[in-house]
Chains A and B, each alone.
Chain A
Amino acid sequence: MNYPFWEIPYLGSGWVIGIISIFHVMISQFAVGGGLYLPLAERKAMRMTDRTAADAWMKQLAGHSKFFLKVTGIYGTVSGVGIWFAIGLTHPEATSTLIHNFVFGWAIEWIFFLVEMTSIAVYYYTWDRIDPKLHLKVGWVYAVVSFFTLFIINGILTFMLAPGSTWLGVAGTGHEASVFWSAFFNPTYWPSLLLRCCVCASLAGIWALISASRIDSDSARNLKIAVVRWSAKWLAPSFLAMPFLFGWYLLMVPSSQRALLTLGVDTIGTGTFSVITRVALIIVITSATVVGVTYYLAYRNPEDFTLSHALAILVLALVATGAGEYSREMLRKPYVIGQWMYSNGVRVPDAIKIDQRGYLAKSNWVWNNADTSYSRGEAIFRGECGSCHTLHGYRPLATLLSGRDSANIRAFVSMLHEYKPDSPYHRFMPPMVGTRQDVDDLANFLNAQVNPPATAIAAQR
């Protein structure tokens, strides 16, 4: 309400964050896992007794570190800033809350990030230029700081799903930052951190397989077998631990949110949020596939492992990551910050106040021409619905409400306004907040989209 709304037709603003985030997570988790891969691989080569094999291994590793630097240093950093940019525009209220609570956390994150970027550049540019032991130490510095970037951001991400009762107890008092560590180490922090560590290790192996697939089997057979097999083993922790960690994570998620996962067990009905169940199924299937395909194509057949095989695994990993991040976001519904702020930026305790004074009363950015019921309805649509719905595109209201007449649409909006606990929408949609006039305005606007005047007239005839 305090900020203008950013409307992205068809795609929806949420997907702008989604697309950038999925891309970023694929790379940033590679940055963390790969951070450990590089020094461990280098140490392995240093300990080899066969010097020819060790040199070939080192040369391959130097090539991989160049690939690593380009992918993480360019695409990882740019997409990371892109997320900031997108969440600031899409969820200004939520971003503001996060900054007020975690400004100290982000300051730490930025320091780690700077050291991370510097150390990886030093690592790459000093191959064969400094003492190998010192070079390895630089690699370890990178590994440690990149892990801590995950350690910090994980606290902020998990906070949004489950802020914990301590933080919720002081939320809105202005003393939220006093319980920083409680909010940071919230109930889902540790399972989420360990889950992400497993994913990081897997991605380190998967991206390393891209480099390894390009080793020529005919001229460097032994090197290819060794590097492909060693990289494939990086998926083992995920294979062994993920099912347990996933179970632990779900156990720590608030039960009201966990219940969302079962909504799609027995239906594909639209508007029942059944999609989260289906996407969660994809995480399980695709993760298992990544491990299985890596075992068959890479571990069992290292010599025949080609770039197209490696890319197939990478694409599958992208699907699993996408499904994982999507489900994590959806699991928060109807909140953007668990129990505290609804997904449309309305703070839970503010709902009653807004019902009394009207949704647009404090929206200073709404131009003065919002003086008709239609234009007020449009402004309310952008503010209250626009963060999850579009009119024609992703979760399109014109389609979801199609077949309803104006009275029916009004009844639907009123139902969202009353927000009774037994309402089927209660579990995953925020209430429609505002006065009775606001309800009418929004219903009028939606009705004009679903039943445009020409259609309505034709129907009357």
Chain B
Amino acid sequence: MTTKSIANTVYSWVDERLGLGELAKFARKKTVPVHKQSFWYYWGGISLFLFLVQCFTGVLLLVYYRPGADAYESVRQITFTMHFGWLIRSAHAWSANLMMLSVLVHMFSVFFMKAYRSPREFGWFSGMMLLALASVFGFSGYLLPMDELSFFATKVGLEIPAAIPVIGPIIANLLRGGPDVSEFTVQRFFALHVVVLPAVFIPLLAFHLWLVQKHGNAAPPSEEAKPASQRKSMPFMPNFLVKDLAMWIISLNVLALLASIFPWQLGKQYDALAPAPLGIHPEWYFMAPFEMLKLLGLVFSGKLAALGEIAGILIFTLGIVLWLLIPFYDPNLESGRRGRRAHYFGLFAIFALLVTTAIGYWTIR
């Protein structure tokens, strides 16, 4: 038997049982629209790639990381004594940040291409859920090194849910494992970070990807308005796939550059009794919500000061709900004026995020 015939036999055996042929047929038929905005199609793939990097580096970190009282010491060993431990940790932290960035770019590109419109509503909802879970991934992972900065930033961050009336303190205590951030908190955040979140995130991600396969890539309204004969497209296999892979390699390169030239630092070990150091601030992707809450709190000062934070949380939650429900407000190509308003809402959201982030960094003390 030649190598080719062996390969054919093996392929037929697997094909009969798993239906690979149908999959290949589907992939061959699938196309991706080609237009001026095609560039934005890559960001979902880039986000997926960065998530895979995090899974891989996360598992490697898991080998040496010790939650609880030993947390800081284990991260110190990873960063300063293990061979290429610093590289794995830097790649993990940088890919987390890059993933948040690419997810945000992906979300806004979906928004402005109106890809949330019928029949892709579930793609939008699942995507927003994934973003929310990714934020929790970020928040829980940030504490794990237990250095000064992560300790105090988490402490401040957990004061936000604590401000919710009645259930707030209960939620905050549950997350902290007590009234203060301590080694119990690390234990809980660790379980959240490596077990609970992946268990929820991965099936949801699979659902999201399945929806993309089912409905295909949405073309922007300007393209959809064109007659079918004038629209261009490229086959998913192999044209789009090889370009997607090239983008993955470029992303890997950007990640390698950042992780190598700016390795993720480790601050001093936390000291719960010490005063909070200067310049405590949330991660950049939490800066905008943090600052918005702060600003809304100021608006409600004076007699309503006590209600300030609660009102802030309410208004902020309302904004998120509106954002989430946009497919119902602007459901299809015939939305007309509503479509334009949704567009302005998107522009306003970007403006608000950028301005509040800038104010947040400007006013760090």
B319 close to chain A: CB less than 8 A: no
How does the 8 Å CB contact mask read for B233-275 relative to A, with 1 for contact and 0 for none? Answer: 0100011001101100110110011001101010000000000
The reply to whether the CB of B351 lies closer than 8 angstroms to some CB of chain A is no
> Which residue from B81, B250, B257, B263 sits with its C-beta under 8 Å from A282?
B257
Q: Per a CB cutoff under 8 Å, which of A268, A282, A292 touches B249? A: A292
Inter-chain contact A316/B86, CB cutoff 8 Å: no
Partner of A268, one of B243, B256, B263: B263
A397 to B80 CA separation, bound complex (whole angstroms): 22
CB contacts (< 8 Å) of A304 on chain B: these are: 234, 239, 243
For residue A93, give the distance in angstroms from its CB to the closest CB of chain B. Answer: 30
Inter-chain contact B263/A278, CB cutoff 8 Å: yes
Docked-complex contact B252 and A279, CB < 8 angstroms: no
Q: Are A297 and B243 in contact (CB under 8 A)?
A: yes
Q: In this assembly, does A421 line the interface, its C-beta being within 8 Å of a C-beta of chain B?
A: no
How far, in angstroms, from A300 to B261 measured CA to CA in the complex? 32
A285 to B252, CA, bound (A): 9
Instruction: Decide if B84 touches A265 in the complex (CB within 8 Å).
Output: yes
**Size range of the interface on A?**
20 to 34
Closest to A300 in B: B242
A285 touches B253 (CB 8 A): yes
Q: Is B365 an interface residue (CB 8 A)?
A: no
**How many angstroms between the C-alpha atoms of A2 and B83 in the bound complex?**
44
Give the A-B contact count at a CB cut-off of 8 A: 71
CB closest residue in chain A, given B80: A267
Are B82 and A300 in contact (CB-based, < 8 A)? no
Tell me the bound Cα distance from A50 to B87 in angstroms.
54
Report B-chain residues with C-beta under 8 Å of the C-beta of A279: 260-261
- B239 → A minimal CB distance (Å): 6
Q: Bound complex: CA of A191 vs CA of B56, how far in Å?
A: 36
A296 to B244, CA, bound (A): 9
Of A268, A296, A309, the contact of B80 (CB 8 Å cutoff) = A268
Cβ contact within 8 Å between A285 and B242: no
**B80/A278 in contact, CB under 8 A:** no
> B265 contacts which of A268, A282, A301, A309 (Cβ < 8 Å)?
A268
Residues of B within 8 A of A182 (CB): none
B84:A289 contact, CB within 8 angstroms: no
A112 to B137 CA separation, bound complex (whole angstroms): 60
- With contact pairs A281-B256, A301-B243 given, residues A316 and B81 touching in the complex (Cβ less than 8 Å): no
Which A residue's beta carbon lies closest to that of B255? A285
Q: How far is the CA of A279 from the CA of B252 in the complex (A)?
A: 15
The answer for the CA separation of A312 and B238 in the assembled complex, in Å, is: 21
A286 adjacent to B256 (CB under 8 Å): yes
Q: A290: nearest residue on chain B (CB-CB)?
A: B253
> Does B242 lie within 8 Å of A301, measured CB to CB?
yes
Q: Which residue of B lies closest to A308 (CB)?
A: B39
Task: Please tell me if A422 contacts chain B, counting CB pairs below 8 Å.
Answer: no
- Secondary structure at the A interface, as helix, strand, loop or mixed, is helix
Min CB gap A27→B, angstroms: 22
* Residue on A nearest B266 in the bound complex, by CB: A268
Contact of A282 with B256 at beta-carbon distance under 8 Å, contacts A268-B79, A296-B245 already known = yes
Known: A265-B83, A266-B80, A268-B79. A296 touches B260 (CB 8 A): no
Closest chain A CB from B82 CB (angstroms): 6
Determine the chain B residues whose CB is within 8 A of the CB of A282 once the complex forms: 256-257, 260-261
A290-324 interface (Cβ within 8 A of B) = 292-293, 296-297, 300-301, 304, 309, 312, 316, 319
Smallest CB–CB gap between A194 and chain B, Å?
Answer: 25
The answer to the question of B85 belonging to the interface, with a C-beta cut-off of 8 Å to chain A, is yes
**A18 → chain B closest CB, angstroms:** 14
**Would you call A269 and B253 a contact (CB within 8 A)?**
no
Q: Would you call B246 and A293 a contact (CB within 8 A)?
A: yes
Cβ contact of B246, chosen from A267, A275, A285, A292, cutoff 8 A: A292
A289 lies within 8 A of B243 (CB)? no
| CB of B92, distance to nearest CB on chain A (Å) | 14
- Bound: A281/B256 CA distance, A: 8
Q: Is B81 in contact with A296, judged by CB distance below 8 angstroms?
A: no
Give Cα distance in the complex from A281 to B79, angstroms.
17
B residues less than 8 Å from A292 (CB atoms): 246, 249
Which residue of chain A lies nearest to B239 when distances are taken between CB atoms in the complex?
A: A301
Q: Interface 1/0s, chain B 70-110, versus A by CB < 8 A?
A: 00000000011111111100100000000000000000000
* Residues from chain A with Cβ under 8 Å of B87 in the complex: 278, 281
A278 to B256, CA, bound (A): 9
Q: 8 Å CB contacts to A: which residues of B50-83?
A: 79-83
In the bound complex, what is the Cα–Cα distance between A304 and B235 (angstroms)? Answer: 12
A309–B38 alpha-carbon span in the complex (Å): 13
**A 253-297 to B, binary, CB cutoff 8 A, 1 in contact else 0:** 000000000000111110000010011011001100100110011
Q: List 11 A-B contacts (CB under 8 A).
A: A266-B81, A267-B86, A268-B265, A278-B87, A278-B260, A279-B260, A279-B261, A282-B257, A282-B261, A289-B250, A296-B245
Beyond the given A267-B80, A278-B263, A289-B252, could you list 4 further A-B residue pairs with CB under 8 A, ordered by the A residue number?
A275-B261, A282-B256, A286-B256, A300-B238
- Interface residues in chain B, defined as those with a beta carbon under 8 Å from any beta carbon in chain A: 79-87, 90, 234, 238-239, 242-243, 245-246, 249-250, 252-253, 256-257, 260-261, 263, 265
Closest 6 CB pairs of A and B: A278-B260, A296-B246, A268-B263, A285-B256, A289-B253, A296-B242
